[in-house]
Structure 1
Amino acid sequence: MSEVQWNRLTAAELRALAARDAVVLLPIGATEQHGPHLPTGVDDFLAAEVCRRAAVLAAEHIGVVVTPSVPTGLSEHHMAFGGTLTLSLPTLHALLRDICRSVIRVGFSRILIVNGHGGNMTALNALTTELTAELSTPIAFASYFGAGREVVRDTLETQDGLMHACEGETSMMMAAYPELIRTEHLDEAHGPRITLPAESTEPVYMAVSFDRITESGVAGDARAASPEKGERMLSGCASALADIIVRDPWAK
């Protein structure tokens, strides 16, 4: 199996991939509270894991490489719980611009930002447009759980999509990082159902601190999680993302 992770490749190997017009995946997550049972790095870990799996699948057809993940995003709404790191919007813009510019200077021209945090979605839609104009290179953006929406919906029993520290995220962490689950706190890991802001049908948006939504820090019900569900979602999201890469959205 060919290596797909940028920081495990040499500069010469990366230049060779750029010469093949390889696709670059740039995973971005968040570092924020995930209830009593999950570590703060969930969104970062899962975005990077799905990207790695997708790259391995897509590499059978095209050149592809995965940059080191961006572990911090827009998490102001979780700050009240503690344990959370957040960026301002201008900082996130500048960080992504500089990473993408570096990737382009190596010789790559196809970049897909892959998101693993609901709180990043609206901003990344706008920033993708800004980065494309600033860098004169078509930057693409997808959330892994959006690419794999069907398998996520069909796998989960208590909800239709990912929420927060929920059945879905907990299941995927059980599959990929079981040693990081605080199983003794699973019984406490439940809260109200929510809709991601980017998918809301409400006519008015207002910023709401997450502690006003859920006392536990969990939205959804992690008690229904299992590693089998997690593996199915990770594999399905990676397959859907690989399909997107191979279909080449940059050619449109």
Structure 2
Amino acid sequence: MPEVIETRWNRLTAAELNALAAAGAVVLLPIGSTEQHGPHLPTGVDDFLATEVCARAVRELAGRAPVVLAPSIPFGLAEHHMAFGGTLTLSLPTLHALLRDLCKSLLRAGFRRILVVNGHGGNMTALHALVTELTAELPARIGLTNYFTLAREEIQDTLEAQPGLMHACEGETSMIMAAWPELVRAQHLPAAVGPPITLPAESTAPAYFAVSFKDFTASGVAGDARGATPVKGERLLAASATALCELLLGDEWARP
């Protein structure tokens, strides 16, 4: 059997991490959220999926580029889900301070390249601003990607009820079915449907107003999970992981 190369930060020794830092390894820092995901999915979906895509990408990169997978940040900006219960949220200053402290720790450990891999739509706008501030403040190359936008064409080709990932939807449900089928409450799938949403960066609304998710979806779902399948989920996870590999091996990220 081929040797399994360990890349998860919290399963490596300090000496092993020092060696990876000396080799110029990129640190992947997944961030998600802990929030309601409709009647059929657990609250950890965004955290689980961001971390799973990173773990798959690291396995694909074995022997091609040094990468370390840091422990995930399971909390994000989820105020818009609080009305449903079951949700944990951070304030923006807390998220900023948390990211700053973690990035500083990574720098002190010898790493100089950090890629934040986001799994929660509600984090997107804030993370763009925070990564800009941290880049100006710290002597490191810090990047940001959203795993759910990395493989847009594959996602669009795979999904049947919607053009992209939404919330507790066909896409997220399919991926959980593929990776953790025991976490899906299948008896509640018939009720797992709601109106579509648009990602913040793609909105055409003339003005932004803060709105609770409960104001437009009684189910807590955006999109339609009723057509979710493990086959679709495996395809989405594989495509996202491969796209993340390509990003890490590309000239733009490799630039010092």
> Quick check: TM above 0.5?
yes
Instruction: Output the aligned Cα RMSD.
Output: 1.0
For residues 128 and 148 of structure 1, what CA distance do their matches in structure 2 show? 22
Report deviation, 1:59: 2.6
1:114 counterpart residue number: 117
Q: Corresponding residue for 2:99?
A: 96
1:134 matches 2:142: no
Instruction: Work out the CA distance in 1 between the residues paired with 2:166 and 2:130.
Output: 23
Query: 3-state DSSP class of the match of 2:140?
Result: coil
Pick one of 180, 185, 191 that aligns with 2:188: 185
Deviation at 1:115, TM superposition (A): 0.1
Matches within 5 A, 1:1-252: 1-248=4-251, 249-251=253-255
Rounded to whole Å, the distance in 2 between the matches of 1:62 and 1:136 is 22
Task: Indicate the SS of the match to 1:21.
Answer: coil
Instruction: Quote the offset at 1:250 in angstroms.
Output: 4.7
Q: Distance in 2 between matches of 1:198 and 1:6?
A: 32
Conservation of the 8 A alpha-carbon contact between 2:170 and 2:227: yes
Structure 2: which 5+ runs fail to align?
none
**Which residues of structure 1 form unaligned runs of 5+?**
none
**What is the one-letter code of the residue matched to 2:93?**
P
C-alpha distance in 2 between matches for 1:2 and 1:199: 39
| TM superposition score normalised by structure 2 | 0.96
Please tell me whether the aligned partners of residues 110 and 250 of structure 1 are also in contact (alpha carbons under 8 angstroms). no
Instruction: List structure 1 segments (4+ residues) > 2 angstroms apart after TM superposition.
Output: none
Q: Output the TM-score relative to the length of structure 1.
A: 0.98
Offset at residue 136 of structure 1 (A): 2.3
Separation of aligned partners in 1, 2:117 and 2:206: 27
Measured in 2, the distance between the counterparts of 1:68 and 1:199 equals 30
Matched letter for residue 208 of structure 2: Y
C-alpha separation in 1, matches of 2:118 and 2:182: 24
Question: In structure 2, how many angstroms separate the alpha carbons of the residues matched to 1:213 and 1:113?
Answer: 30
Say how many residue pairs are matched. Answer: 252
Greater CA drift, 57-66 or 36-45: 57-66
Cα contact 1:78–1:84 (8 A) shared by 2: yes
Distance in 2 (CA, whole Å) between partners of 1:123 and 1:148 is 22
Percent identical among aligned pairs is: 68
